[in-house]
């Protein structure tokens, strides 16, 4: 069973608010990822990190930002939320198994911006 946790699971906020989606893993994985997924659609990589103080932008342009100050923690921040940010955000991590295409996903944070 994967030990990767996301909070909040569900969030409804108004336009212009700042939000932070939390992601923590207890597996000691160096690599962490954020994917964005709309209902019934594919997962788009928006950010990834290969270790502390390492962050990179993914394939899909995103107005969100991330930080990686501790190995186990990879929060995602939106400074000013807009309705176009409404989506599900999935956090994942991988260790050596990532080299065999295996990521461990959290349950996701479903964000609705009104």
Partner 1 sequence: GQSLEQPSEVTAVEGAIVQINCTYQTSGFYGLSWYQQHDGGAPTFLSYNALDGLEETGRFSSFLSRSDSYGYLLLQELQMKDSASYFCAVLLTLSNDYKLSFGAGTTVTVRA
Residue placing its CB nearer to partner 1 in the complex, 60 or 79: 60
What the block records as the tokens of 79 is: 């400074």
What the block records as the tokens of 75 is: 């929060």
What is the nearest approach in angstroms of partner 1 to the Cβ of residue 77?
Answer: 21
Please identify which residue in 11, 17, 45, 73 interacts with partner 1, judged by CB under 8 A.
45
34 binds partner 1 (CB under 8 A): no
What is the nearest approach in angstroms of partner 1 to the Cβ of residue 17?
Answer: 23
40 binds partner 1 (CB under 8 A): yes
Beta strand spans in the chain (E): 4-7, 10-13, 19-25, 31-37, 43-51, 54-57, 65-66, 76-78, 87-94, 104-105, 109-113
Distance CA 111, CA 83 (A): 9
Please identify which residue in 43, 71, 86, 95 interacts with partner 1, judged by CB under 8 A.
43
């Amino acid at each position: 069973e994967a030990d990767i946790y996301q909070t909040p699971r569900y969030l409804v906020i108004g336009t212009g608010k700042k939000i932070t989606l939390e992601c923590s893993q207890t597996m000691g994985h160096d690599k962490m990822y954020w994917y964005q997924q709309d209902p019934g659609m594919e997962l788009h990589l928006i950010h990834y990190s290969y270790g502390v103080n390492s962050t990179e932008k993914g394939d899909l342009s995103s107005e969100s930002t991330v930080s990686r100050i501790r190995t186990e923690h990879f929060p995602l921040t939106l400074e000013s939320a807009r309705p176009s940010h409404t989506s599900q955000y999935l956090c994942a991590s991988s260790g050596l198994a990532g080299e065999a295409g295996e990521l461990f996903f959290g349950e996701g944070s479903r964000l609705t911006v009104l």
